[in-house]
Chains A and B, each alone.
Chain A
Amino acid sequence: LAKTTQPISMDSYEGQEVNITCSHNNIATNDYITWYQQFPSQGPRFIIQGYKTKVTNEVASLFIPADRKSSTLSLPRVSLSDTAVYYCLVGPNNAGNMLTFGGGTRLMVKP
């Protein structure tokens, strides 16, 4: 499984755009990139998944450069309720795939 590296923590202010970058230098050809969000005392929640270029949904955008060695989760106009831990995961979409959750990035949104 590809190892991922992301910042331990980030601070932002309400209304700002937040970009969290994840490095995955040894990503394999059949690996996908997935991001989860976890609030305190809750289970993680799927945010977005991509393979290459750009993916956008109602919550976030995911930017993946051509070499796929990194990815950036973009949260537009964050609010206090976006304060959470964000996990970047990389792995193949196989049956019973084991997802590896690293330490994640602790995002603190301030008023």
Chain B
Amino acid sequence: NAGVTQTPKFRVLKTGQSMTLLCAQDMNHEYMYWYRQDPGMGLRLIHYSVGEGTTAKGEVPDGYNVSRLKKQNFLLGLESAAPSQTSVYFCASSLPGPRGSHEQYFGPGTRLTVT
């Protein structure tokens, strides 16, 4: 099992450009999440999904959109990148049920710089 994979690993964007980050998991998990982590800080939830075709806003959703067209994939889009979106982005997945949402499996991260 590859677990949770993220594409790309690194990206540099100019202000105003758009891009899509791809997250894929092969564990058949129902739940998927997108977080951002700024230097020296904890993770903040951007958006999450509790199943194929469903998404919901997290703590810091502004400036991002997501889609979950297939159970194994969760896409994070930036329509018009801003320097404030420079961060490391982590995707995670988990099982449903009483314990599932707490035991999340994280990908390796995407380091995004917006100049």
Which residue from chain A places its CB closest to the CB of B106 in the assembled complex?
A: A43
Chain A residues packing against B (C-beta within 8 Å): 32, 34, 41-46, 49, 87, 89, 91, 93-104
The reply to whether A101 and B43 contact each other, CB–CB distance below 8 Å, is yes
Chain B residues packing against A (C-beta within 8 Å): 4, 31, 35, 40-45, 48, 50, 56, 58-59, 90, 92, 96-109
Q: Which of A43, A93, A100, A104 contacts B90 (CB 8 A)?
A: A43
The reply to whether A99 and B42 contact each other, CB–CB distance below 8 Å, is no
CB distance from A15 to the nearest CB of B (A): 29
List the 5 closest A-B pairs by CB distance, nearest first.
A43-B106, A101-B42, A101-B43, A97-B101, A34-B102
Which residue from chain A places its CB closest to the CB of B97 in the assembled complex?
A: A93
Question: In the bound complex, what is the Cα–Cα distance between A45 and B105 (angstroms)?
Answer: 7
- Residues on A with C-beta less than 8 A from B92 are 43
- Residues on A with C-beta less than 8 A from B58 are 98
- Residues on A with C-beta less than 8 A from B102 are 32, 34, 46, 49, 89, 91, 93, 97, 99
The reply to whether B48 and A96 contact each other, CB–CB distance below 8 Å, is yes
The reply to whether B106 and A45 contact each other, CB–CB distance below 8 Å, is yes
CB distance from B8 to the nearest CB of A (A): 15
Question: In the bound complex, what is the Cα–Cα distance between A43 and B96 (angstroms)?
Answer: 20
Question: In the bound complex, what is the Cα–Cα distance between A89 and B48 (angstroms)?
Answer: 17
With A41-B109, A42-B108, A43-B90 given, is the CB distance from A94 to B42 under 8 Å? Answer: no
Can you list 5 A-B pairs with a CB-CB distance of less than 8 A? A43-B92, A43-B108, A94-B101, A95-B31, A98-B58
Question: In the bound complex, what is the Cα–Cα distance between A111 and B88 (angstroms)?
Answer: 30
- Residues on A with C-beta less than 8 A from B31 are 95-96
- Residues on A with C-beta less than 8 A from B100 are 93
Question: In the bound complex, what is the Cα–Cα distance between A44 and B4 (angstroms)?
Answer: 12
